[in-house]
Amino acid sequence: MKRLMFLAVMFLLVGISSYAQERKVVLYGIAFYNQENLFDTIHNEGKNDYEYLPDGRNKWNTEKYMAKLKNMAQVLSELATDKTPDGAAVIGLAEVEDRRVLEDLLKQPALADRGYEIEHYEGPDHRGIDCALFYNPVYFQVDSSKLLPYVYPDNDTIHATRGFWVVSGKMADEHVHFIVNHWPSRAAGSETREWAGAQVKMIKEALVQNDPSCKVIIMGDMNDDPMDKSMRVALGAKRKMEETGPHDLYNPWWDTLEKDGHGTLCYRGKWNLFDQIVFTGNLLNEDQKKLSFWKHEIFVRDYLFQKEGKYKGYPNRTQAGGVWLNGYSDHLPTLIYLLKEVQ
């Protein structure tokens, strides 16, 4: 039986002139995590998932699948728990095969009593990897969801790829839209991700035009860094708070990578920060009477990194070079935290 969930309330000391005033606020953890090929062992008709079958290249059997579920559930269960006992209110996911693997994930002991619900739609990706959203209905109440397709400029339908998963609802009695993304890989040209950024910007603008008071949170594996053209120009996510208007997008991860040198995946010794959560400027409030951005972080735990060998210090992934490593993902999770004052 699922335990009764409760709102995590924290006390925030806010310095005002020469004294501090104690305020009570509710904390909302918003996370994103690329699951790195979370496939089960069953073939999905019409999908190129053969390498993740028992007789496929990766010899993907029940033992490996169950180990993968256990490992991923461990990470998901720990997200935000150092700040709120219920963990993350919302978790965006990428590289999940279908609803079945999501249900299996939530059955794992680490997550079984969290009360998460699933938003997922089977997408057109040829390998069969989708985006999805876990959410705790105590903190976020879903009103609607839809998958908007990635449309190529030349209307190419041969290379169908992952669309943009839009989930809309209420958080802290305010209208919030989440857009979960997994943009084309680096193997494709940069223009494919720039086009993705432009399409997501159009989605954001349509949402804001329909409801100027809504908040829009865009998360995903963008396969580009914050300063790349797809994020900086096409999507228009800004580096500085003071330059971000209420309906503009703010990207807190720019300095995390460029100034601090921290990323979410490593390739040939270089860290990138592809896993980003950006949001509209109406979440940048000086007080917390409205839903407000507090802080952001890359989720870092020792077990998420390889301890030895050629890739020491890299994320501890499921497998590499055809070798089963019993790890987690080649990406690290990211989080932002929102606050709202309660009476």
3-class SS at 206?
Answer: helix
Share of the chain above pLDDT 90, in %: 82
In the predicted model, what is the mean pLDDT of residues 299-322? Answer: 93
Q: Would you say the C-alpha torsion 39, 186, 295, 237 has a positive or negative sign?
A: negative
> Is the per-residue pLDDT at 19 higher than 60?
no
pTM: 0.94
Residue with tokens 């900086």: 232
Poorest-confidence range of 3-7, 70-74, 178-182, 258-262?
3-7
Q: Which of 10-19, 117-126, 255-264 has the lowest mean pLDDT?
A: 10-19
Q: Which amino acid is at 213?
A: S
Confidence at 5, pLDDT banded by 50, 70, 90: very low
pLDDT confidence of residue 158: 64
**187 CB contacts (<8 Å, ≥6 apart)?**
none
Residue whose C-alpha is closest to residue 288's, from 89, 24, 6: 24
Asked if 263 and 331 touch (Cβ cutoff 8 Å), the reply is no
How many whole angstroms separate alpha carbon 106 and alpha carbon 118?
A: 9
DSSP string, 137-197: TTTEEEEEEEEEPP--TT---TT----EEEEEEEETTEEEEEEEEEPPPTTS-HHHHHHHH
**Tokens describing residue 31:** 């996370």
CB 148 within 8 A of CB 203: yes
* Cβ contact 193:224 at 8 Å: yes
- 127-166 per-position pLDDT tens digit: 989 999 999 999 999 999 999 999 988 777 667 789 999 9
How many C-alpha atoms does 178 have within 13 Å on its Cβ side?
A: 31
Helix 62-78 / helix 99-106 crossing angle, nearest 10 deg: 60
The answer on pLDDT for 21 being more than 80 is no
Once rounded to an integer, what is the mean pLDDT over residues 268-279?
96
Alpha helices (runs of H) in 20-110, residue ranges in sequence order: 62-78, 99-106
State which amino acid sits at residue 60. Answer: W
pLDDT (tens digit per residue) in 221-253? 999 999 999 999 999 999 999 999 999 999 999
Tokens for 53, please give them.
Answer: 């079958």
For the chain, domains (ranges, CATH) are 9-341 (3.60.10.10)
The whole-angstrom separation of Cα 262 and Cα 258 is 8
Q: According to the model, what pLDDT value does residue 287 have?
A: 84
Q: At CB < 8 A and 24+ separation, what contacts does 42-49 make?
A: 42/100, 44/97, 44/98, 44/128, 47/97, 47/126, 47/127, 47/128, 48/126, 48/127, 48/128, 49/97, 49/127, 49/128
Alpha carbon distances (Å) from 323 to 37, 57, 64, 305, 327: 15, 11, 12, 16, 11
